[in-house]
Structure 1
Amino acid sequence: MKKIGFLSFGHWTPSPQSGTRSAADVLLQSIDLAVAAEELGADGAYFRVHHFARQLSSPFPLLAAVGARTKRIEIGTGVIDMRYENPLYMAEDASSADLISGGRLQLGISRGSPEQVIDGWRYFGYQPAEGETEADMARRHTTAFLEVLKGEGFAEPNPQPMFPNPPGLLRLEPHSEGLRERIWWGAGSNSTAAWAAKLGMNLQCSTLKDDETGEPFHVQQARQIRAYRAAWKESGHTRAPRVSVSRSIFALVNDLDRAYFGRSGQEGDKIGFLEENNRSIFGRSYAAEPEKLIAQLKEDQAIAEADTLLLTVPNQLGVDYNAHVIESILTHVAPALGWR
């Protein structure tokens, strides 16, 4: 059994060919797609976060709105760039969204990927400390965020407060019990996956990673997941961790599917450089009739290792079509693979 959700990058463009022509369009349609996915029986609604781009950016208003409109589906991110975040303010926002949803938040975070502008986090008021890299800064923000999510007091109370204080040091409010165990780290390498395990974070695996061995993408990602689980066990955590993988998967069940994705041209992995001297491998997309698709997905070792699958959706094609994409996987593919 696997949890199956969708991951939307939230693209929008004023082009007449786009179903999302403004930021308002993509935000409102994201809420509607989460509602539709829940009705179809999907398990998660996840959203990408990018700054300085015509995509979804500030996630917490959207997550809170989705939480208020739904009752069962998990809501989350994949991922928030921690170079841009104030850990304490973020903890308040995340706890608020989690409480609104009734404890359904699954928050994916990471050190971030190349952005639309140079060092965009500087415009947000952040810069690495002396001797730090930007990745170090992201991890420093992350450890501070995880610490305050514990709900322990750390701030000295005012002896003459406006309102009465509880005894002792004060914690951030609101506090959402259990949210600390629902934080995920988007790891691009085996070493960062092991680091996430040591800190007790769940693991999110993307459609790309560092090319560390030259093996096919799904094989390398399966090794990454196994390395994560080994580090988790070694760290002595008492709960079972969760692991998600993201994939572009389209079941071709009608003429519109075939027109959009019948010749995807992405039936193999690709190699590229996201950053200078950092060779990355990009996983293939899957698009085929259900029987062929089922056979292909059976060979994906990383999907087999994960407990959660996030389907990347073409959000600019509109809510109805994306609901159809999700329903096709849940109906025509998942049962045959034992995921349902």
Structure 2
Amino acid sequence: MKKIGFLSFGHWSDHPSYATRTAGDTLLQSIDLAVAAEEIGLDGAYFRVHHFARQLASPFPLLSAIGAKTHQIEIGTGVIDMRYENPLYMVEDAGAADLIAGGRLQLGISRGSPEQVIEGWRYFGYAPDAGETDADMGRRKALEFLERLDGSGFARPNPQPMFPNPPGLLRLEPYSEGLRERVWWGAASDATAAWAAAQGMNLQSSTLKFDESGEPFHIQQARQIRAYKAAWKKAGHTREARVSVSRSIFALVSDQDRYYFGQQGKSADSFGYIEPTQRAVFGRSYAAEPDQLIKELAQDEAIQEADTLLLTIPNTLGVNYNVHVLSAILEHVAPGLGWR
């Protein structure tokens, strides 16, 4: 069995072929899609976070709304760039969203990736400490976020408060028990995957990673996951680790599918640079008739290593078509691979 969710980047643009022409369209359709995904039996609704772009950027209002309208589906992010975050305020937002959802929040965070503007986190009022890189800053904020999520008191109470305080140091409220164990780290390298394991975070690995061997993407990603699992075991954590991978997968079961994605079945891994000196490998897309798709996916080593698969979706094509895309995977592909 494998958990299957969708991952939306939440694009919008005033384009005649888009169903999401405004930010409002994207937000409201994201809620509708999560509700529909739960109804067809999908396990997760996840959303990417990008600042300074016509994409989803402020996840907690959206996650709270979805949490209020659904009952079982996991809801989460993939990923929140911690360079832009106030960790304490984020604890409060996350706690509120998780309580609304009844403990279904799965928060993917990371040190961030190249963004739309140069050093965008500076516009949010943040800068690395002396001797830090922006990546160091993101990891430092992540650790502070994790520390405050555990619910321990740390703030000295006012001796004459407006409202009575409980005894001892005060923690952030609202506190949501168990959320600390549902934080995931988006890792682009083997080393950061091992670091995430040491911190007790689950692992999210996307459709790209740093190229560390020149091998095909799925082989490098599978090695990253195995390194993470080994580091988790070494750290002595008592709970089971979770690992997700993202893929673009389309079962061609209609003429519309073939029109939109027929050419993607010919795609292959590609190599490029996401930072000036950092070479990366980008995973291929999968698009084929169901029987062929099952054969191809069975060879993907990283998918086999993960317990959760996040399907990247073309959100601009609207809710109904995306429900069709997801249903096709659940009905025609997942059973053939033992995922359902």
**How far is 1:248 from its partner?**
0.1
Structure 1 runs (4+) greater than 4 angstroms displaced:
none
Hey, what's the Cα distance between the residues in 2 that align with 1:9 and 1:266?
A: 23
Q: Read off the aligned partner of 1:109 and give its amino acid letter.
A: I
Describe the superposition over 1:80-123 as per-residue Cα deviations: whole angstroms up to 9, x where unpaired: 00000000000000000000000000000001110000000000
Q: Confirm or deny that 1:199 pairs with 2:202.
A: no
Aligned equivalent of 2:149:
149
**How far is 1:198 from its partner?**
0.2
How is 1:265-276 mapped onto 2 (pairs within 5 angstroms)?
267-276=267-276
**How far is 1:267 from its partner?**
2.2
Aligned equivalent of 1:167:
167
Q: What's the C-alpha RMSD, in Å, of the aligned pairs?
A: 0.5
- SS in structure 1 at match of 2:264: coil
Describe the superposition over 1:264-298 as per-residue Cα deviations: whole angstroms up to 9, x where unpaired: 26521000100011000000000000000000000
Hey, what's the Cα distance between the residues in 2 that align with 1:81 and 1:42?
A: 26
- SS in structure 1 at match of 2:60: helix
| Contact 2:265 2:288 (8 Å CA) reproduced | no
Aligned equivalent of 1:114:
114
Q: Read off the aligned partner of 1:308 and give its amino acid letter.
A: T
| Contact 2:265 2:287 (8 Å CA) reproduced | no
Q: Read off the aligned partner of 2:151 and give its amino acid letter.
A: G
Aligned equivalent of 1:103:
103
**How far is 1:263 from its partner?**
1.0
How is 1:71-90 mapped onto 2 (pairs within 5 angstroms)?
71-90=71-90
Q: Confirm or deny that 1:260 pairs with 2:260.
A: yes
Aligned equivalent of 2:293:
293
| Contact 2:265 2:286 (8 Å CA) reproduced | no
Hey, what's the Cα distance between the residues in 1 that align with 2:258 and 2:195?
A: 42
- SS in structure 1 at match of 2:185: strand
**How far is 1:183 from its partner?**
0.0
Aligned equivalent of 2:16:
16
Hey, what's the Cα distance between the residues in 1 that align with 2:183 and 2:265?
A: 35
Hey, what's the Cα distance between the residues in 1 that align with 2:222 and 2:119?
A: 32
Q: Confirm or deny that 1:34 pairs with 2:34.
A: yes
Hey, what's the Cα distance between the residues in 2 that align with 1:326 and 1:10?
A: 16
- SS in structure 1 at match of 2:172: coil
TM-score (norm 1): 1.00
Aligned equivalent of 1:248:
248
Hey, what's the Cα distance between the residues in 2 that align with 1:101 and 1:229?
A: 29
Aligned equivalent of 1:50:
50
Aligned equivalent of 1:306:
306
Aligned equivalent of 2:209:
209
Aligned equivalent of 2:282:
282
Describe the superposition over 1:100-156 as per-residue Cα deviations: whole angstroms up to 9, x where unpaired: 000000000001110000000000000000000000000010000000000000000
Describe the superposition over 1:297-318 as per-residue Cα deviations: whole angstroms up to 9, x where unpaired: 0000000000000000000000
Aligned equivalent of 1:237:
237
Q: Read off the aligned partner of 1:172 and give its amino acid letter.
A: L
Aligned equivalent of 1:133:
133
Q: Read off the aligned partner of 2:234 and give its amino acid letter.
A: E
- SS in structure 2 at match of 1:185: strand
- SS in structure 2 at match of 1:263: helix
Hey, what's the Cα distance between the residues in 2 that align with 1:120 and 1:28?
A: 27
Aligned equivalent of 1:190:
190
Hey, what's the Cα distance between the residues in 2 that align with 1:324 and 1:95?
A: 33
Hey, what's the Cα distance between the residues in 1 that align with 2:266 and 2:8?
A: 19
TM-score (norm 2): 1.00
Hey, what's the Cα distance between the residues in 1 that align with 2:267 and 2:137?
A: 37
Aligned equivalent of 2:328:
328
- SS in structure 2 at match of 1:334: helix
Hey, what's the Cα distance between the residues in 2 that align with 1:313 and 1:112?
A: 21
Aligned equivalent of 1:69:
69
Hey, what's the Cα distance between the residues in 2 that align with 1:313 and 1:325?
A: 8
Hey, what's the Cα distance between the residues in 1 that align with 2:45 and 2:314?
A: 14
- Identity over the aligned pairs, expressed in percent? 75
Q: Read off the aligned partner of 1:101 and give its amino acid letter.
A: A
Q: Read off the aligned partner of 1:263 and give its amino acid letter.
A: Q
Describe the superposition over 1:12-60 as per-residue Cα deviations: whole angstroms up to 9, x where unpaired: 0011111100000000000000000000000000000000000000000
Q: Give the gaps of 5 or more residues in structure 1.
A: none
